[in-house]
Amino acid sequence: MKIAITGASGYIGRHITALAKKNGHEVIAIDRSSDIDIFSQHQNVFEALQKPDVLLHLAWRDGFKHNSPEHMKNLSHHYEFLHSYIHDGGKKVAVMGSMHEVGYWEGVINEHTPCDPLSQYGVAKNALRQSMMLLAKDCDAKLYWLRGFYIYGDDIGGHSIFSKIAQAAADGKTEFPFTTGKNNYDFLHIDDFSDQVLAAITQDDITGIINICSGKPVSLAERVEQYIQDNHYNIKLQYGAFPDRPYDSPAVWGDNSKIRAIKAK
């Protein structure tokens, strides 16, 4: 297939782009160094992206700054870009979503879980999802809303807890201040994450909200301790140095039934 990928040089984009090429797909990579500015108007976005079979929209500014004003400021630009792509002839669109669209929730998240986001990032993503679902229905286009959960792997230079631990190890630190680590989350390695995304967007039968996840809750402490062990870091976690955040769910994970069905094909 011919796959156009925005945000192709980002943390997620780099891995999906490499995997798509490895699997024999033609990739049209779009990032800030490209001639195409997704926030500017084009005569025909579909043609500007070389008429791909599917558009994977990963680009998003300040993704790790959840209350940045950039999220709401750029929301209409994302919608206009995707609207133009579909209006100009694109029939398959995949957009990276986030479990932060849901807000506080205890238990499994599926495509029917109500959304009440608690950050500007979550609000913007959820609004784009709602708008795109209406647009896809009106225009008879296929929409793949890829709801991502917690990613680890390739962590140096990132912003996650794993990135911070990797940096601390690189700096020679032997202790790392931590919470109680009791919260349970859904963690997925970046390689598995990329594999799920590529599988989802290169099939036609299952669309809508697709959780990109492991489907299993694992305690933060267990996952981080395993990460330290796997990477042979000489670091000990200082449990309780930071309080647990009151708005973090004690346990939340994704329903992976859709992605399992896709992978089983």
DSSP classification of residue 36: -
Q: Which of 121, 144, 150, 152 is catalytic?
A: 121
Q: Is 265 exposed, middle or buried (0-12, 13-18, 19+ CB in 10 A)?
A: exposed
* Contacts (Cβ under 8 Å, ≥6 apart) of 242: 177, 178, 179
**Adjacency order of strands within the sheet including 26-30:** 26-30, 2-6, 54-57, 92-98, 142-148, 208-212
Q: Does 144 participate in catalysis according to the annotation?
A: no
Q: How far apart are CA 181 and CA 167, in angstroms?
A: 19
Distance CA 19, CA 198 (A): 8
| Interior angle at CA 96, CA 51 and CA 190, nearest 5 | 110
Helices (H), the chain: 11-22, 45-48, 70-87, 120-139, 161-170, 190-201, 220-230, 257-264
Sign of the dihedral through C-alpha 129, 134, 138, 142: positive
Pairing of strands 184-185, 218-219: antiparallel
So which residues are the catalytic ones?
A: 121
